[in-house]
Structure 1
Amino acid sequence: MSTLAYDGLAMVGRQLRRVRNSPGLAILTQVMPINMLLFFGYVFGSALAMPGREYRSFLVPGLLVSTAAGGLMTGMFQAAADSHRGVMDRFRTMPVSRAAVPLGQAVADLVVTAIGTVPLLLVGLAAGWRVEGSVPRAVGAVGLLLLFRFACTSIGIFLGLLTRSEDAAGQLGASTFVLPLLSNAYIPTDGLPGRLRTVAEWNPISAVTTALRDLFGNAPVPGDAAWPVAHPIAGSLLWCAVLIGVFLPLAVRRYAHGER
């Protein structure tokens, strides 16, 4: 086994033990999307033109993607906490692959996300959401969701290593809550004013949400939207490739060089 793989698995194990030792945070992370599903699905659904069950089918993919985007906040806070407490400095003094530490955190987060997605899917099914597409397309939707989570976590790890402050990471991470609101995760974008609609449709969350709706068979792809939304699967894969290709190497470089 290569050094990177061996060290990476060790870092994954460390992060999973970290989650196990903080069950309250893990539970809160899973409860929030379920609460939002129940609140948005039964309160907002009655205020929109869509009937309640139809809106919940529209909403569940958006909530899945919004939860995946939360990897930005999780990755940022965990990396900043390790930097602030000197854990990263300690790792740098050890014979550990420089890429293994950021990668280990991102992969461990992916494992936790994959497990935590199950309760939200079950509640969505209980609320009336259904997978109306084929099984292979549904599996592809879950794979795309996890790829997007990995991309968002990569951004968060880089920003956490950059700030090196738990307080700053917490404040900056809280501000990312607005990102799903500037997308089609909760409401259709065709009724938004021109410039706001353009911003929402070029938001990566909108492309991934539309791709999930398409793969799950929940909603047709809008033909008059911006390119990433009009071609959601290609747009989502392109966004993920760009985000991972830019921020994961930056995170590894930032970890390797410390404060320099």
Structure 2
Amino acid sequence: MNSLRWAVADGWTVTLRSLDRWVREPGVLLLGLLFPVLMMLMFGYLLGGAMAVPGGDYFEFLMPGMFALAMLFGIESTTIAVATDAARGITDRFRSMPMAPSAVVVGRSVADMLNSALGLGVLMIGGQLVGWHSHGTAAETMLAVALLLLLRFAFLWMGIYIGLVIGKPEGAIALQILVWPFAFVSSTFAAPDTMPGWLGAAAEWNPMSATAVACRDLFGNPTWGEPSWATDHAMLIAVLWPLALIAVFVPLSVRRYQRLSR
């Protein structure tokens, strides 16, 4: 119990360090919160007129996909922050202190989850301003939010591990090149059956697609495309994908952190 309390206290101290940076650099926080809103407006108004969505409202289809997309975009900031701390020697200084070995990565994950929850709230408010609404019950809406944050938690640990492996912010920036194809090969903006066969299959099994489809069902928003096993079992896949990613990248991240500078 003493070890657990020690780990929790140290993890919260590292979390407060990240939160203090929000106060000292509010412009960075504000830009991160508004970027998904800008993406929503661009794709909603630029592409919406060309999309024939059941019900006729592209924003109703788009928003659950945008919520999932926002959970993915956070991986870049996580990776860059972890790599920057490693490059500046801050991570090594933490490791030299009498603190719990898991405190740094756990503290980073808690701070980023708070940031993601705030960003998701801002994006949902922005969606309501352009006509999107959740037509599900309060319980269904909360379950959809929980699925989105679960996806973010999984992507977050991927970002932590990649940042620890790369170790330099310059290398972490290259991650953006990989994020965009992964984001677009999904059901965020269009139905997978409108894509070439192999590409549509990849889009259907994208973790983002499963979460987006499950959230559309829970929010009562229109879906698009032909039904398939992946869409019929989107809720199950939206839970299994993140849990699998967490099971892989949490121990990898902790082990990688413990082996730094050895």
For the aligned pair, the TM-score class normalised by the smaller chain equals: over 0.9
1:63-74 to structure 2, matched below 5 A, reads 63-74=66-77
CA contact (8 A) 2:53 2:224 kept: no
Kindly provide the amino acid, as one letter, of the partner of residue 255 in structure 2. R
**Cα offset for 1:259?**
4.2
CA contact (8 A) 1:207 1:236 kept: yes
In 2: Cα distance, 1:30 partner to 1:89 partner: 30
1:1-260 to structure 2, matched below 5 A, reads 2-50=5-53, 54-220=57-223, 224-227=227-230, 229-260=231-262
Question: Structure 2, unaligned stretches of length 5 or more?
Answer: none
In 2: Cα distance, 1:49 partner to 1:221 partner: 9
CA contact (8 A) 2:54 2:222 kept: no
Kindly provide the amino acid, as one letter, of the partner of residue 246 in structure 1. V
SS at match of 1:2: helix
Identity of aligned residues (%): 37
Q: How many residues align?
A: 259
Q: Deviation string for 1:150-172 (max 9, x for gaps)?
A: 11010000000000011000112
Please give the TM-score of this superposition, normalised by the length of structure 1.
Answer: 0.94
Kindly provide the amino acid, as one letter, of the partner of residue 182 in structure 1. V
Q: Deviation string for 1:62-102 (max 9, x for gaps)?
A: 11110101222121111100000001100110111111211
Please give the TM-score of this superposition, normalised by the length of structure 2.
Answer: 0.93
In structure 2, relative to structure 1, the CA distance for the partners of 1:226 and 1:75 (3 Å cut) is: farther
Q: Deviation string for 1:35-77 (max 9, x for gaps)?
A: 1111111120101112896110111111111010122212111
In structure 2, relative to structure 1, the CA distance for the partners of 1:3 and 1:58 (3 Å cut) is: same
Greater displacement, 175-184 / 129-138: 175-184
CA contact (8 A) 1:46 1:52 kept: no
In 2: Cα distance, 1:165 partner to 1:207 partner: 32
CA contact (8 A) 1:53 1:129 kept: no
Question: Structure 1, unaligned stretches of length 5 or more?
Answer: none
Give me the CA root mean square deviation: 1.8
**Cα offset for 1:175?**
3.0
